[in-house]
Amino acid sequence: MKCSLTTLHKKTTSETDVVDITEDVGDAVHDSGVLEGACTVFIAGSTASITTIEYESGAVSDLIRAIERLAPRGIHYDHDARWGDGNGFSHVRAAMLGPSITVPVKDGDLVLGTWQQIVLVDFDNRPRTRTVHVQVIGASSARQPR
Amino acid sequence: MKCSLTTLHKKTTSETDVVDITEDVGDAVHDSGVLEGACTVFIAGSTASITTIEYESGAVSDLIRAIERLAPRGIHYDHDARWGDGNGFSHVRAAMLGPSITVPVKDGDLVLGTWQQIVLVDFDNRPRTRTVHVQVIGASSARQPR
Amino acid sequence: MKCSLTTLHKKTTSETDVVDITEDVGDAVHDSGVLEGACTVFIAGSTASITTIEYESGAVSDLIRAIERLAPRGIHYDHDARWGDGNGFSHVRAAMLGPSITVPVKDGDLVLGTWQQIVLVDFDNRPRTRTVHVQVIGASSARQPR
């Protein structure tokens, strides 16, 4: 059994920036030497989320609009009234979509669908450098036949 | 420590089909021989999700209606305009609910609540045969008392 | 490799009660002796969720209001019509936010952001004593340099 933690730093350029991190996560899996197991992708911070989507510009913009309906920018947020950050909507969106996913690993690769990418969704109202932790745990060689 | 990956194939019959896969996942846990650990359930593909719900027809239809409000079928989706799949709403819904959950394993069983079932939620606009990966990792015998 | 399961019991006081359980989860990680690995937090039951948020009263009340918009209390729910529990909205909310998150562990601690807390969100319409399972798995000593 092996256990490997890789930390990614990804720059985001604007609010609700959706960044494809599939290749980075796949590289972390390959580097770990784990052939069968589980890969957790976790975003540190309370104004961003991790999920999967077909990473093409249409679906990405559709997701952004749906999130805008879920927690619109222009309404009152108590967080903003107290702290003046102006990113109350970011906190709500991130809490609803969640900070982590876990993807199984088989034969050394993520078992994603063909059109399924792992994305970092940054909801904050300014550019950030995001810290994403990729935790891989599992067996480093195939199990022997029983 | 053991590590076991089981792949399920589940037929879905229509859009927003909610399928109870608790028994399949429980069987995968039992077959793994893991007594204490973690079980990840992951859906391959970008138009379906995994979550838990009390699997009775009332709660299931309530969930379907809430998802319809979140990302309605009848509005404009850029994904449809570009690709003509007609399932832009499916992509948005799946990205918001997420592709995976992880359930701890204790004494060889999932630690679900009494009325809590694991469900595959298929958002696509046509019947599919879905691939669900069940990854179990943990200890195969109880820890010795200290 | 180590594997450790801790069960928390948390009282909730009212509907949509958001409880900060970060310290409890951190204690479970410390007690496990795991230095590097993954920590899954799972809520047993179908009317509550686990997520992360900046735990300050403004962001928390903003989240509660957004969830109320997502699945309002005052509308019709089939679950209520069938079972008379009056908590159809609770089931829908819990299924949409999800029952689990997984947080990597590094140097014996959760890799949370500075303003990121782990919360139990109870959607039920009455006080409950909630069962939260904290599953930690990983290496109990740092890997040797290669």
Residues of chain C with pLDDT under 50: 144-146
Q: In what order do the strands lie in the sheet with B100-106?
A: B2-12, B128-139, B36-43, B100-106, B109-110
What are the extents of the domains in chain C?
2-139
pLDDT tens for each residue of A33-74? 999 999 999 999 999 999 999 999 999 999 999 999 999 999
| Residue A144, number of CB atoms within 10 A of its CB | 5
- Is residue A96 within a helix (H) or strand (E), and if so which, with residue range? helix A88-97
CA C21 to mean position of chain CA atoms: 8
Chain B partners within 8 Å of C88 (Cβ) = 58-59, 62
Distance CA B8, CA B25 (A): 9
DSSP H helical ranges for B1-146: 22-32, 57-70, 78-83, 88-97
Q: What is the mean pLDDT of residues B66-94?
A: 95
**ipTM for the complex shown:** 0.95
C98, A97 in Cβ contact below 8 A? no
| Lookup: tokens for A44 | 């540190």
pLDDT band at A142 (very low <50, low <70, confident <90, very high): low
CB-count burial class (<10 Å; 0-12, 13-18, 19+) for B125: middle
A53, B99 in Cβ contact below 8 A? no
Chain A partners within 8 Å of C63 (Cβ) = 91-92, 95-96
CB-count burial class (<10 Å; 0-12, 13-18, 19+) for B134: buried
Chain C partners within 8 Å of A137 (Cβ) = 37-38, 137-138
- Tell me the shortest Cα–Cα distance from B55 to chain C, in angstroms: 9
CATH code linked to domain A2-139? 2.60.120.460
Say what angle helices B57-70 and C88-97 make with each other, to 10 degrees.
60
Bigger pLDDT: C112 vs A85: C112
Cβ of A1 under 8 Å from any chain B Cβ? yes
